[in-house]
């Protein structure tokens, strides 16, 4: 399925040019226009899925192995020391383009600081209570 108003549908299917580093029948992998670090890439399925909750299982099964392959290539070629696979779902989580995509972000020794989260604190009781709430939604 395609969404005619979706920029990533157009990029993934080659209607809008992009700097492509990999393509197969299911995916196009492009360089991010606003890179967090040198080589920052986006894995785009060619089919439109708004986010991970909408993602087809066949495509989902291919995303992590592809992320590992791209990240490994970056380590070999760009000299990064590691990489992050990041995937945002929902505006509150930082998603700005509502076509599923996985970021592959190379991380360099002494490279740009990329903000993560500050670890908080939770008691065993709080963890247990939270776990029970989430488990109810998974039945």
Residues that bind Zn ion (CB under 5 A): 3, 6, 8-9, 48, 99
| CB 66, CB 72: distance < 8 Å | no
Q: Within 10 A of 96 (CB to CB), how many other CB atoms are there? A: 6
- Measured from the CB atom, the residue of 7 and 128 that comes closer to ligand AMP is 7
User: How far apart are CB 66 and ligand AMP at their closest, in Å?
Assistant: 17
Asked if 103 is an active-site residue, the reply is: no
CA end-to-end span of the chain? 29
Footprint on this chain of ligand AMP (rule: CB under 6 A): 7, 18, 30, 32-34, 42, 88, 94-97
User: How far apart are CB 3 and ligand AMP at their closest, in Å?
Assistant: 15
Quick one: which of 69, 68, 48 has its CA closest to 59? 48
């Amino acid at each position: 399925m395609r969404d005619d108003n979706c920029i990533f549908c157009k990029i993934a299917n080659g209607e809008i040019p992009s700097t492509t580093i990999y393509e197969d029948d299911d995916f196009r992998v492009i360089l991010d226009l606003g890179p967090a670090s040198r080589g920052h890439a986006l894995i785009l399925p060619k089919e439109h899925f708004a986010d991970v909750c909408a993602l087809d299982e066949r495509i989902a099964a291919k995303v992590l192995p592809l992320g590992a392959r791209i990240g490994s290539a970056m380590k070999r070629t760009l000299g990064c020391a590691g990489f992050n696979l990041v995937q945002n779902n929902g505006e509150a989580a930082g998603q700005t383009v509502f076509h599923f995509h996985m970021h592959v972000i190379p991380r360099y020794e002494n490279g740009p600081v990329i903000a993560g989260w500050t670890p908080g604190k939770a008691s065993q009781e709080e963890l247990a209570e939270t776990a029970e709430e989430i488990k109810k939604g998974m039945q």
